[in-house]
């Protein structure tokens, strides 16, 4: 039993195997943290950071971003609150200078079981080995198309699919296995890329995941007509390469898993629009300037940076209270309430 079980904000009973966790108002523990290491990006994907709304030089000045000492304090506190999985994200995290040094520091935190990174892959070829050597365990690479013309359009005219594929190859060579490949599918934009992507990554050992286009933020001109429900994609893929459902790897897993009947590996679907999973949402997000968002669709973040200088105990107290007041379930209530202000995806990293 850990000492924290007696702390007033810790509502979830613990054993030595499962660390204590604070529970929110709906009884959901805090298990995952997504930490944005930078709010800038070298892409302008129209569904996230459209070029006509977000200036080329968008980004906080260096002093407004958490430094590595602050990030380490923050992550130590979140681990004390029950977090086991950390994902580094952005903006584009590989734009953050000395990122492998940060990874190496975070890897020393006891109780952190899993450290992953989400990237657009454009700079991965040059950094994969250093990240692996620093101890990074898992990688997710976003890849919305194989066709260069479509890929370029979906990266706001900035991306090169060959560079991303080279990044994936470098990651394999560096020792990353079972890399996740995220594809946000939009009807009439890249849904014709689904089968080519499946064909390309079958038998690769990597896991392609199709993500429903979400109404995140307020600048992407989201429209429901562009959402392709996962079940439609699954049926399309199944007609070509028969699939069978697989059990989740763990409770609260965001993607629904399917295996190819012929043993060519697995794929996943993230169905936040058609099958909301708020009931199992154990995830907190912290922006590069140290604001906590308890939902991807939150309007405001709560400042955590101000307490970081007071040390881990103070952050545990502060974040524990914020989490225990959480009642978010935006996706379950979608359409039943007027949509208000929503944080932009590039600030909280997906």
Name residues contacting ligand SAM, limited to 133-162 (CB under 6 A). 142
Q: Dihedral sign for Cα 207, 208, 214, 219, please.
A: positive
Does 129 bind ligand SF4 (CB under 6 A)? Our answer is no
> What string marks each residue from 62 to 91 as x (binds ligand SF4 by CB under 6 A) or -?
----------------------------xx
Left (φ > 0), alpha (ψ -120 to 50) or beta: where does 314 sit? alpha
Task: Identify what 213 binds: ligand SAM, ligand SF4, none; CB under 5 to 8 Å per kind.
Answer: ligand SAM
235: helix, coil or strand?
helix
Task: Identify what 220 binds: ligand SAM, ligand SF4, none; CB under 5 to 8 Å per kind.
Answer: ligand SAM
Q: Which residue from 33, 48, 139, 316 is in contact with ligand SF4, where contact means CB under 6 A?
A: 48
* Termini Cα distance of the chain: 33
User: H/E/C letters for each residue in 64-78?
Assistant: HCCCHHHHHHHHHHH
218: CB partners within 8 A, 6+ apart: 341, 342, 344
Number of residues that bind ligand SAM (CB under 6 A): 21
* Cβ neighbour number for residue 139 with a 10 Å cutoff: 26
Rounded to the nearest whole angstrom, what is the least distance from the CB of residue 130 to ligand SAM in the complex? 18
Rounded to the nearest whole angstrom, what is the least distance from the CB of residue 151 to ligand SAM in the complex? 12
> What string marks each residue from 174 to 213 as x (binds ligand SAM by CB under 6 A) or -?
--------x-x--------------------------x-x
Q: What is the DSSP letter of 219?
A: S
Q: Which residue from 128, 346, 347, 348 is in contact with ligand SF4, where contact means CB under 6 A?
A: 346
Number of residues that bind ligand SF4 (CB under 6 A): 22
Does 189 bind ligand SF4 (CB under 6 A)? Our answer is no
Name residues contacting ligand SAM, limited to 48-77 (CB under 6 A). 48
What are the φ and ψ backbone dihedral angles of 231, each rounded to 5 degrees? -65, -35
- Residue closer to ligand SF4 by CB (options 213, 330) is 330
The Cα 179–Cα 245 span in angstroms is 20
**Residue showing tokens 């923050």:** 74
The Cα 147–Cα 151 span in angstroms is 6
Name the helix (H) or strand (E) containing 117.
strand 114-119
Interacting residue ranges for ligand SF4, rule: CB under 6 A: 41, 43-45, 48-49, 90-92, 120, 142, 277-278, 281, 295-297, 328-331, 346
């Amino acid at each position: 039993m850990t000492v924290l079980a007696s702390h007033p904000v810790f509502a979830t009973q613990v054993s030595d195997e499962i660390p204590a966790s604070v529970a929110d108002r709906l009884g959901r523990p805090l298990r995952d943290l997504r930490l944005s290491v930078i709010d800038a990006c070298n892409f302008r994907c129209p569904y996230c950071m459209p070029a006509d709304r977000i200036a080329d030089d968008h980004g906080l000045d260096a002093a407004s971003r958490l430094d590595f000492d602050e990030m380490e304090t923050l992550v130590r506190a979140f681990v004390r609150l029950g977090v086991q999985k950390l994902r580094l994200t952005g903006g584009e995290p590989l734009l953050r200078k000395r990122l492998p040094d940060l990874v190496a520091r975070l890897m020393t935190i006891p109780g952190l079981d899993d450290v992953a990174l989400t990237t657009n892959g454009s700079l991965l070829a040059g950094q994969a080995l250093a990240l692996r050597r620093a101890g990074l365990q898992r990688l997710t690479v976003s890849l919305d198309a194989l066709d260069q013309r479509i890929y370029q359009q979906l990266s706001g005219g900035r991306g090169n699919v060959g560079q991303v594929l080279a990044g994936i190859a470098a990651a394999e060579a560096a020792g990353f296995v079972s890399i996740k490949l995220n594809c946000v599918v939009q009807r009439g934009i890249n849904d014709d890329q689904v089968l080519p992507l499946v064909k390309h990554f079958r038998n690769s050992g990597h896991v392609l995941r199709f993500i429903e286009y979400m109404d995140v933020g307020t600048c992407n001109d989201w429209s429901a007509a562009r959402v392709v429900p996962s079940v439609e994609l699954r049926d399309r893929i199944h007609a070509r390469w028969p699939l069978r459902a697989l059990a989740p790897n763990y409770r609260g897993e965001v993607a629904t898993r399917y295996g190819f009947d012929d043993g060519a590996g697995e794929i996943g679907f993230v169905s936040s629009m058609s099958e909301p999973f708020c009931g199992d949402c154990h995830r907190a997000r912290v922006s590069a300037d140290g604001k906590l968002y308890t939902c991807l669709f939150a309007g405001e973040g709560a400042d955590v940076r101000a307490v970081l200088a007071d040390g881990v105990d103070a952050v545990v107290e502060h974040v524990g209270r914020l989490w225990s007041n959480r009642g978010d379930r935006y996706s379950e209530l979608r359409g039943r309430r007027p949509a208000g202000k929503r944080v932009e995806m590039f600030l909280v990293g997906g």
